[in-house]
A and B are shown apart, each in its own frame.
Chain A
């Protein structure tokens, strides 16, 4: 059974800092990995999707990497802003069966001005 863990559970940083969020998964047979952002009282917004054959994806100040063999992904946020404050979740899609999307428990990020 796939298990997805995110560290740290919470993170508080001053504006302008570069930061790294970590995601690890137990079964390396994945189809892809997605990073989502969730604002309070809202649904999830997809940030980046990395296919299992890819090593990284970039969008603006966000960069996500994937090391499938070691079961790890990182989300790098450059020059953090107060508007980046949210909960960040990673999710892995299974390579077999019905391709379930299994979520981590998230990292709650607070960027203070």
Chain B
């Protein structure tokens, strides 16, 4: 059963440290999304890739966040430097082109910045 894999599942770090989250999309899916989920804001779109090209990262704080897809099997989300307000669950989702099929979500990375 194909699934989106995210690592690490949990990350605790101190303010100011760099954090890297990784996502392996489902093989053959060429759209990848990064979402952040908090109790206050719910699910917020951070970045959207199609065929490894970033199409929309307007939801991402550019000064500290960066998202890349070095190849079709890996998407990364980096925060440098991290701040306590970045504490949240970060989800990666993938889907085929066209938008007619449901997105598949990973189990998320729970980030705590102290």
A residues near B (Cβ < 8 Å) are 31-32, 34, 36, 41-46, 49, 51, 89, 91, 93, 97-106
Contact = CB atoms under 8 A, between A and B. Distances in A.
> How would you classify the secondary structure of chain B's contact residues: helix, strand, loop or mixed?
strand
B99 interface: yes
B101 A43 contact: no
Interface string B76-99: 000000000000000101000001
Interface residues on B, range: 20 to 34
B91 A100 contact: no
A46 B102 contact: yes
Nearest to A105: B42
24 contacts: A31-B99, A36-B105, A41-B107, A42-B107, A42-B108, A43-B4, A43-B93, A43-B105, A43-B107, A46-B104, A49-B101, A49-B102, A51-B100, A89-B43, A91-B43, A98-B48, A98-B55, A98-B56, A100-B48, A100-B56, A101-B45, A102-B45, A103-B42, A103-B43
B107 A32 contact: no
A112 to B, nearest CB: 23
Given A98-B48, A100-B56, A102-B45, A46 B103 contact: yes
In this complex, the member of B35, B42, B100, B106 whose beta carbon has the largest number of chain A beta carbons within 10 angstroms is: B42
A2 B108 CA distance: 25
A74 B8 CA distance: 35
Contact of A32 (B33, B43, B100, B108): B100
Given A43-B91, A44-B103, 6 more contacts: A31-B99, A43-B105, A44-B105, A89-B43, A99-B99, A101-B103
